[in-house]
Structure 1
Amino acid sequence: MDCTFNTELGNFNFRVGIIITDGRRVLMAKNPNDKREYYYSVGGRVKFGESLEDAVKRELMEETGIDCEIDRLACIHENFFTDDDGVPFHEISCFFTVKPDERLLKIADGSLTDQGPKGEYLKWIDLDSCVDLTIYPEFFKTVDFGADREFRHFITKDNKTADVG
């Protein structure tokens, strides 16, 4: 069971994200069935009773088919947003980097995740030339997680993101 629940005020999600980089390129996912044009981090919801590291390894295997070693917890993101149906969300995501692995770097644009032909696919996004591209989380555009080893804490509220330490 996913660590997500509904309340009278909105929904809560507890997620992990995986930061897979190759220089200034980052591997992201997209759902072609979504009407909006955006990319999002590899990852997903933590299951009840699952450690964060186990969730990262499971999500990484589900979305890339590759089992590799976790490097570190890079940041926490508190995200407050309203979905397309007007439902408020409070989401906490823990983002991890993984150790360099040649198998990850060989993932081709358009590779399908475990969602199959009608589901998500993966794409390498060049962060230096994606100015007009919508990606979530947006702070991926400004933080070089491959070079910057400082732990970060981000809060996004009203579509504004603050790096609070």
Structure 2
Amino acid sequence: MAPRFEPLIEQHHDEIFAYLWRLLGKERRRDGAMDVEDLVQEVFLRAYESFAGLRPNSNHRAWLYKIATNCAYTKLRQMKSRRDGLLSLETSAAGLGAANGYSPVRKNLAQRVRALVNGLPSRQKVCVTLRYLEDLDYPEIAQILGCSQESVRANVYQAIRRLRLILEEE
């Protein structure tokens, strides 16, 4: 393995794993053939294969997130073609801060928000996940998704607006 590539794996493995874990949600358990760690390995394999062509001053983190997002989209498309329905986004305890001492009301609200995020269109779901669960800024998300910052902001805005409307109606 290229000596410059190994530190990338060490530095970003856990965050790429957590991102895919949150993005794929319940799908990571429903599909027996699907394992998040396998997908993480696929991400780093693809990254390694194209690493030589990467400019030295590139944003490696954004580049890895872009590869991870593309791998996740491919996996989600494959699973969606096998069955109908919306995909679930179930975040880990770290994702929305569900921790010991968390009040039942807040925990219930966090579970409800996760369930509502499940119903978002995939682009909005990815934007919200990258922005609020991965804590990336708009320029990084735009670079990862290959779109403008305005597009990312619009997707996040529309997702939040949709979630607020649903929560206010309840």
TM-score range, shorter chain: under 0.3
- Report which of the two structures shows the higher radius of gyration computed on alpha carbons: 2
Please give the TM-score of this superposition, normalised by the length of structure 1.
Answer: 0.28
Please give the TM-score of this superposition, normalised by the length of structure 2.
Answer: 0.27
Q: Which has the higher strand share?
A: 1
Q: Which has the higher helix share?
A: 2
